[in-house]
Chain A
Amino acid sequence: MELMYRRSLGPVVGAFLTGLRDQRLLASRTTEGRVICPALEYDPESGDAVETELVEVGPGGTVTGWSWVQEPLRKHPSDRPFAWALVRLDGADTSLLHALAVDGPESVQTGMRVVPRWADERTGHITDLAHFVPEEA
């Protein structure tokens, strides 16, 4: 079963994905000042709309959680073993889920520093960010 969607993005998600195309990591701010990356349209706590302007965060960040993938599935963002990571980018209060390219599970720890690697071709898609890598790499 194949379904082709063309999803409208709106001003918040659209701005975030536009940022990825331009190699920028953006976040939304709640009225309480909480910085959410990736940008969500509404404050998860209060349901209020976020501020209209997004703020820049990163590029580096800290791993707040992870899980190891020894045998990637066909649609995973990597065809070699990798880690899923929750990354709290510098300046953000929440974490972003993405792939972390490391050689083995012994190379991942909660708290480690990572930086993004960008895809060569970017269209405004979460995969414009190809994956994270350890900061010292």
Chain B
Amino acid sequence: MTDTADTTEGPVRFMPQLIGLDYTIRTNPVAAAFGAALAEGHITGHRCPSCQRVYSPPKGYCPICCVATGADDLVEVADRGLITSWTVLTPIQYAGQKEREDYALASILLDGADGTIGQQRLVEVPLDEIRMGLRVEAVWAPPGEREGDDRGYGLGTAVSGWRPTGEPDAPPSAYQDHTL
């Protein structure tokens, strides 16, 4: 913060303050089970016993019915699905930025799931050919290199990206209720 270092003369007008706090996040059992299945090449979810919606990644409850879910409600979903929405990012080169080229992240509705999984990287597709309804499949990381997300929000490093399958696009009816 060099502009506040020149304080040897004249009134001091700013005070730099670095606040550094350390947090330990423990992986909850639902996320741990999800991560273990990912390591084996399976994407799992929980099906709500009340409304039958499938959440992947699982939360341990259905937020619509407010019913707890657990191992008894475990289901597997496919490692392929369709794009419901996407964004092309042009990475700003701030200190620490690792991305150099434009890239795309998408929300994907996996076959068998009722909610999308977000922030998924699209690969092997030109950015201007990405579209809603595009059918994609997971590009799995090699076994042994699949680390789960410590909070179970995403797929960790298990899936390095999603590429088109070559199947015909899904129709609007497949994604129009999932665009968020």
**A-side interface residues toward B, CB under 8 Å?**
1-9, 14-15, 17-18, 21, 123-125
**What are 20 sample pairs from A and B whose C-beta atoms fall under 8 A apart?**
A1-B21, A2-B19, A2-B20, A2-B21, A4-B17, A4-B19, A5-B16, A5-B19, A6-B1, A6-B14, A6-B17, A7-B14, A7-B16, A8-B14, A9-B14, A14-B11, A18-B12, A21-B12, A123-B12, A124-B12
Inter-chain contact A9/B13, CB cutoff 8 Å: yes
Q: How far is the CB of B5 from chain A (nearest CB, A)?
A: 7
**B18 / chain A contacts, CB cutoff of 8 Å:** 2-5
Interface status of B7 (Cβ within 8 A of chain A): yes
Number of interface residues of B (CB under 8 A): 18
Q: How far is the CB of A121 from chain B (nearest CB, A)?
A: 10
Q: How far is the CB of A135 from chain B (nearest CB, A)?
A: 28
Interface of B is mostly: loop
Q: A4-B1, A21-B7, A123-B7 are in contact. Are A9 and B15 (CB under 8 A)?
A: yes
**Alpha-carbon gap, A2 to B95, bound state (A):** 14
**Alpha-carbon gap, A4 to B20, bound state (A):** 8
Interface 1/0s, chain B 8-49, versus A by CB < 8 A? 100111111111111100000000000000000000000000
Q: A4-B16, A15-B11, A18-B11 are in contact. Are A123 and B5 (CB under 8 A)?
A: yes
Interface status of B4 (Cβ within 8 A of chain A): yes
**B15 / chain A contacts, CB cutoff of 8 Å:** 6-7, 9, 17, 124-125
